Chain A
Amino acid sequence: MRRRAIFHNKVLPYLLLAPQVAVTLVFFLWPAGQAIYQSVLLQDPFGLRTQFVWLENFRVVLTDPLYLGSVRVTLIFSTAVTALSMGAALLFAVVADMRIRGATTYKTLLTWPYAVAPAVAASLWLFIFHPSIGLLGRRLRYLGIAWDYKLNGNQALLLVILAASWKQVSYNFLFFLAGLQAIPPSVIEAASLDTGPARRFWSIAFPLISPTTFFLLVVNVVYAFFDTFGVIHALTGGGPGKATETLIYKVYTDGVINLDLGGSSAQSMILMLVVVTLTAIQFRYIERKVHY
């Protein structure tokens, strides 16, 4: 879609763009450039000596078993969070789309967890699953399960997955519901003449909401990669050991705590590549969908 009627002004558009462009330059592009620059340098923690090392930092990072372990954790974590939160959301959306009494109330009551900060969600889940004071944590131990997420890496990973997914269901629910409600009634009407509800969902509704599903897939992966730092920081601090150290958490520990600037920047660069890829896929796809 291209606009034909436009305004002509030599200066105004630049003035309108100036604040956004200034912030972008100073706080986005310049630091990103610095990250690229630092990723090819080797610097001691006090910043006294700096040495140009080409792609050495990348080689070190990509062959580091700790980094590869963190890649593994990230893949498990983001797959689980995406599958769990999208699956539950789709189920709720399909049900809420049926004509049942109180649908609006249900919708409101399923929406609000979107407002809960990841770290606050972590605090809530900690209170439930704390091995000595948590309601369910104590119950699990009572049942003979050695529940202690501070000692058991798998349990820690499970807990951060649950807390991170819990918060994300609302978002996915709203999108799935909107997608389902956007299907023209005539299509459903036509389909209901010769198919049952399950068949109708899988062969009519599900394909029709595939743009929504695809969009949510990308959004959820981005969420699991980048926005869950708070959950992990508050619940497990990346531990025990490195069991819940995702890639983003490792950038933080290596850069802010261990002051390994080169290594941290190289990791930042790799993550930027991930975001660029995801965003490019998403944007191309959505642009095409919207403009037909």
Chain B
Amino acid sequence: MATRQRPTQWLPHFILVVGVASFAFPIYLALIGSTHDAGIIARGEMPLVPGPHGLDNYWQAWTRGSAERVKSIPVQALMFNSLVMALGITFGKIAISVISAYAVAFFVFPLRMFFFWMIFITLMLPVEVRIIPTYKVVADLGMVDSFTGLIIPLIASATATLLFRQVFLTIPDELVEAAKIDGAGALRFFWSVVIPLSRTNIAALFVILFIYGWNQYLWPLLITSSRSMETIVIGIVKMIGTGDAQTDWQIIMATTILAMLPPVAVILFMQRWFVKGLIEAEK
């Protein structure tokens, strides 16, 4: 690293500041928008400094939702739905992937490669390309408009299985031999060696999957039929509706900020694992 030449100092800073600013600007505007009243936004007179209505707007969004709608769902309910879905998907995916990767990496058994390819092939079947038939299966199982319907169909994960398989392949054979000599069986080895060794990978995957789960769009759009089951992301888009000037923009912006908080917080507080998780998924 020390040999990397010291460049002209201002240009890199300038480029990075432009980058940071172009990322932050939309958020800044949303923050400002969430502190003004509907009138000033609708007239297009919103200043670039915070207004006096911030607390009112957030309180209204949190407890009642958008006032304009006949029947609006409070943001706290939408956030709760999103949280349950995101955590369900995250833990579900990690749990079933880690055990299936363990089976594929540490056992030799008939049809091993068949199952491996069967899991792998799910990479090629994103929900977006099989919308109708998947919806029909979920409907036939009576899972429409429920958390199980939101979560279970999304927890199969080829990516997570492949990631854990790669991690497991780096566990040296000697360690397995040593464990076997000490009389540890497959399950004991799994709990006492493999899981502790993969702790950081699990943390890393947690970050990525939580964001994946929280940000789901098409699937909840299909599966939720009652407004009370909607997730926060769907809720925002429903609030925008036709998106004319009379929309309650200050409430939408407050909701937008609230919707970003959990995933952004997870990234910021778990930055190290997040980067590790993303990069390792590549290897």
Asked whether, in the complex, the Cβ of A31 is within 8 Å of the Cβ of B100, the reply is no
**Is A71 part of the binding interface, using a Cβ–Cβ cutoff of 8 Å?**
no
Q: Contacting A133 at CB < 8 Å: which of B4, B245, B266?
A: B245
**Is A252 part of the binding interface, using a Cβ–Cβ cutoff of 8 Å?**
yes
Chain B residue with the shortest CB-CB distance to A95: B12
The contact size tier of chain B is 35 or more
How far apart sit A171 and B283, CA to CA, in the bound complex (Å)?
Answer: 15
- Smallest beta-carbon distance A65→chain B, Å: 22
How far apart sit A139 and B169, CA to CA, in the bound complex (Å)?
Answer: 57
Hey, what's the 0/1 contact readout for A116-159 against B, CB within 8 Å counting as 1?
A: 11111111111110101101001000000000000000000000
Asked whether, in the complex, the Cβ of B243 is within 8 Å of the Cβ of A130, the reply is yes
Chain B residue with the shortest CB-CB distance to A229: B218
Residues in chain B near residue A279, CB distance under 8 A:
123-124
Interface residues of B in 115-137 (CB under 8 A from A): 115, 118-126, 128-137
- Smallest beta-carbon distance A147→chain B, Å: 13
How far apart sit A6 and B179, CA to CA, in the bound complex (Å)?
Answer: 11
Asked whether, in the complex, the Cβ of A251 is within 8 Å of the Cβ of B128, the reply is yes
Chain A residue with the shortest CB-CB distance to B129: A271
- Smallest beta-carbon distance A245→chain B, Å: 14
Residues in chain B near residue A53, CB distance under 8 A:
none
**Is B186 part of the binding interface, using a Cβ–Cβ cutoff of 8 Å?**
yes
The interface residues of chain B, by DSSP majority, are classed as: helix
Whether A31 contacts B23 in the complex (CB less than 8 A), given A7-B186, A13-B112, A133-B42, comes out as: no
Q: By the criterion of a CB under 8 Å from any partner CB, how many residues of chain A are at the interface?
A: 103
- Beyond A115-B263, A275-B124, list 9 extra A-B contacts (CB 8 Å): A31-B125, A100-B12, A109-B23, A123-B240, A123-B256, A174-B275, A178-B275, A251-B129, A251-B131
- B interface residue numbers (CB < 8 A to A): 1-7, 9, 11-13, 15-16, 19-20, 22-27, 29-30, 33, 41-42, 44, 46, 95-97, 99-100, 102-109, 112, 115, 118-126, 128-138, 141, 152-153, 155-157, 161, 166, 169, 173-174, 176-177, 180, 185-187, 189, 211, 214-215, 217-218, 221-222, 233-234, 236-237, 240, 243-245, 249, 252-253, 256, 259-260, 263-264, 266-268, 271, 274-275, 278-279, 282-283
